[in-house]
Amino acid sequence: MKNISFSKIVSTVFFIGYFPLRGGGSWAALLCLIYFILSKIILIDIFNISQNIFFIINLLLLLFYLPLGFFTINNSISKENPDPHHVVFDEWVGMWIPIIFLESPTSATIQGILVNIFSAITFGKPSFPLLEKIPISITFNI
- Give mean pLDDT, residues 121-129: 53
Q: How confident is the model at residue 109 (pLDDT cuts 50, 70, 90)?
A: low
Q: How confident is the model at residue 48 (pLDDT cuts 50, 70, 90)?
A: very high
Provide the greatest CA pair distance for the chain.
58
Listed by start position, the domains of the chain span 6-132
Can you count the helices (H) and strands (E) in the chain? 6, 0
Give ∠ CA 102-107-111 in degrees, rounded to 5: 100
* pTM exceeds 0.85, yes or no: no
Q: Say yes or no to pLDDT of 38 above 50.
A: yes
Task: Provide the pLDDT for residue 58.
Answer: 87
Spatial separation of the C-alpha atoms in residues 72 and 10, rounded to whole Å: 7
Give ∠ CA 85-8-12 in degrees, rounded to 5: 45
Average pLDDT of the residues of the chain: 75
Q: Say yes or no to pLDDT of 67 above 60.
A: yes
Spatial separation of the C-alpha atoms in residues 72 and 5, rounded to whole Å: 10
> For residues 84 and 138, which has the higher predicted lDDT (pLDDT)?
84
Spatial separation of the C-alpha atoms in residues 25 and 19, rounded to whole Å: 10
Task: Provide the pLDDT for residue 90.
Answer: 81
Spatial separation of the C-alpha atoms in residues 94 and 100, rounded to whole Å: 11
- Give the phi and the psi of residue 27 in degrees, each rounded to 5: -65, -40
